[in-house]
Amino acid sequence: MSTSKNMPVALITGGSRGLGRNMALKLAARGTGIILTYRTGADEAAAVVKQIEAAGGKAVALPLDVGDTRGFGAFVEAVRTELGRHFGRERLDFLVNNAGMGIQVSFAETTEAQFDALMNVHLKGTFFLTQRLLPVLADGGRILNISSGLARFTFPGHAAYATMKAGVEALTRYLAKELGARRISVNVLAPGATATDFGGGVVRDNPELNKTLAAQVALGRVGQPDDIGDAVAMLLSPESAWVTGQRIEASGGMML
């Protein structure tokens, strides 16, 4: 394991559970220091930190509501503090905009409040948190935004959610262009149907739905958290440094 000052550091929003937790564990196993955020799951976040540290890695958890931009200034200062105190660093190497929420409702029944909640977390939060963190992100660093296969294929009940993710995908291309002068690469990873607790664990816990979705996947099953964590680790590896402005879908070939 690298010493702290030589260790790359990743900030993963929503890293206390689900896919974010797996991303944190996979990156830590490859020698990356982790700053993960949580909104309400302080105990879950502490458990992830403990697991990383037990394996010889370094991690710290910070509270953050990605849907409330008013807290971003204080959060960035907390990141600066923990970079120095915990890692002996002044800059982040990687930013993974992963935090999210799901609302499944038909287009006809979507309320403005539901639309705003999704927009604040997925699109506005990603836009302005990334903006505020730019001074803390190292030149030559990486940004990885998490989208969804639902921005490409359609299932009823996800119109508002997919609209936000499509916005994130457009934002990714603009960031790649505008941050290229700093050698910062920016990509988007779009998971397909994955067995996690997202959306109440419906893909993971509903056998009939799981089977139906798996029939739409070229590789014959829905995704597992490891599939997405491995893809994140691959996209943040040195070998992927020349990839920027791209949408990579990790779905096993869903809805081809």
**Would you call 38 a catalytic residue per the annotation?**
no
Tens place of pLDDT per residue across the chain (256 aa): 445 668 999 999 999 999 999 999 999 999 999 999 999 999 999 999 999 999 999 999 999 999 999 999 999 999 999 999 999 999 999 999 999 999 999 999 999 999 999 999 999 999 999 999 999 999 999 999 999 999 999 999 999 999 999 999 999 999 999 999 999 999 999 999 998 766 666 667 577 778 889 999 999 999 999 999 999 999 999 999 999 999 999 999 999 9
Catalytic option among 28, 161, 223, 244: 161
Q: Domains in the chain, ordered, with CATH?
A: 4-249 (3.40.50.720)
Strands (E), 99-198: 137-146, 185-191
The Cα–Cα gap between 118 and 103 comes to 8
Torsion from C-alpha of 51, 71, 104, 98, nearest 10 degrees: -40
The Cα–Cα gap between 221 and 239 comes to 28
Question: pTM here?
Answer: 0.95
Task: Note the helical H segments in 55-158.
Answer: 72-87, 112-118, 125-133
The Cα–Cα gap between 48 and 170 comes to 32
Neighbouring-strand partners of residue 194: 223
